[in-house]
Amino acid sequence: MTDFEFTEGELARGEALFRSPCDFVLGAVAVDGLPADGRPEIAFAGRSNVGKSSLINALTGRKTLARVSVTPGRTRELNFFTLGANGPDGAYLVDMPGYGYAKVSRSAVKGWTRLIEDYLKGAGSSGCSCSARHGLKANDRDTMKLMDESAVSYQGVLTKADKPKLSELEAVIAKTEAELAKHPAAFPHLLVTSAKEGVGIPELRATIAALTSNGVEP
């Protein structure tokens, strides 16, 4: 569900990339604990309970790869998953702590926020800014501004597209696309997804293959 057209070759490369092994590697609580092997990183940033972990599971076709919880704020580390070939020719998917609501102390939330900011400021990370069906909120805009300032390119992704009525979804899409157009580091098109229904998953796989420059030939 996007006005941007992907070629059959792009979709095939995305599908082939996600047929390759994808496994949990580590959970980092500080930037000095990040992998240092130079692989491209695709980070899934977004509000708590926006569906980042479910999206990763849908992309990889593995329902339990990234931990999913109905309780906001359960992802408390930068969780790294390998994608593609082992070594520098591969890539990482990164499930980030959600910003915003969480049933934890303010100091813990502050620590996660600092971790997110420190990570996104790092060179070479490509971010996917995941917005829930309700559209962008203030903390989404803050994160997008940070990625703009850090020259971290990112793809806008609208999650849980199966939840709202079509008219409501169309309004959120139009508003979100208009906001993305104002951000220099954002890709100009919005990907609309549903992890439950599989909507937009092939297109997001193709985008990630292009971002990593490691799309596997079908």
Considering the domain boundaries, does residue 218 fall inside one? no
Considering the domain boundaries, does residue 76 fall inside one? yes
Q: In angstroms, rounded to a whole number, what is the distance separating the alpha carbons of residues 215 and 141?
A: 30
Euclidean distance between the first and final Cα of the chain, in Å? 24
Tally of structural domains, the chain: 1
How does pLDDT run across 42-83, given as a tens digit for each residue? 989 888 888 888 899 999 998 778 765 444 444 578 889 998
pLDDT of residue 205: 94
Roughly what angle, to the nearest 10 degrees, separates helices 8-17 and 201-212? 80
- SS3 call for 131: strand
Considering the domain boundaries, does residue 35 fall inside one? yes
pLDDT of residue 73: 46
Q: Among candidates 185, 109, 80, 110, which has minimal Cα distance to 141?
A: 185
pLDDT of residue 206: 94
Reduced DSSP (H G I as helix, E B as strand, rest coil) percent helix, strand, coil of the chain, to 5: 35, 20, 45
Q: The CATH number of the domain where 192 resides is what?
A: 3.40.50.300
Q: In angstroms, rounded to a whole number, what is the distance separating the alpha carbons of residues 10 and 211?
A: 12
Q: In what order do the strands lie in the sheet with 154-158?
A: 24-28, 78-83, 91-95, 41-46, 125-131, 154-158, 186-192
Structure pTM? 0.86
In the chain, which stretches have pLDDT less than 50? 69-74, 215-218
Considering the domain boundaries, does residue 157 fall inside one? yes
pLDDT of residue 70: 41
